[in-house]
Structure 1
Amino acid sequence: MKIVRRIGVPPSARGSNSGANCPDVFELSDGNFAVIGTEATEALDGELPADAARADYERIVVVSRETLIRAKADIPDA
């Protein structure tokens, strides 16, 4: 599995000059996506709807609204 491309604009284009705030979205060689975000599993696990589940090896990650909005144009429809 390898990162194929960034989805959206780099963090520097969203105002992260120091590298301290770098949420990001990447398309992987297997067609999946990887995200860099703020780990929030403990805070949000109990907030999941009844029809949602998280495996022990999965984590809930928060990505800024701007990151996803700026990535929207690059996300394939299929």
Structure 2
Amino acid sequence: AGLPYSDQMITREDVADWRRMSAYFESATPIWPPGSQAGYHALTFGFLVDQIVRRLDRYHRGLTDFLNEITRDHGIQFHF
């Protein structure tokens, strides 16, 4: 994704609001051109995956709700 960290100040309030994080990533510029490098996205991975799930899931659930439903229904213990 080229977004391993934020070049803007992100507050706790931002992190707690998926809409704010969505707006941040929608306006962010990748640090490197797509496909030119790979990098570990430890700080942003969860937010990026959450946005993918929200856009693909027909109920627009976030990552936590999506995974909880799957794991609960199948008796799977999963921690992310």
TM bracket, shorter-chain basis: under 0.3
Q: Taking structure 1 as the reference length, what is the TM-score of the superposition?
A: 0.23
Q: Taking structure 2 as the reference length, what is the TM-score of the superposition?
A: 0.23
- Structure in which a larger fraction of residues adopt helix: 2
- Structure in which a larger fraction of residues adopt strand: 1
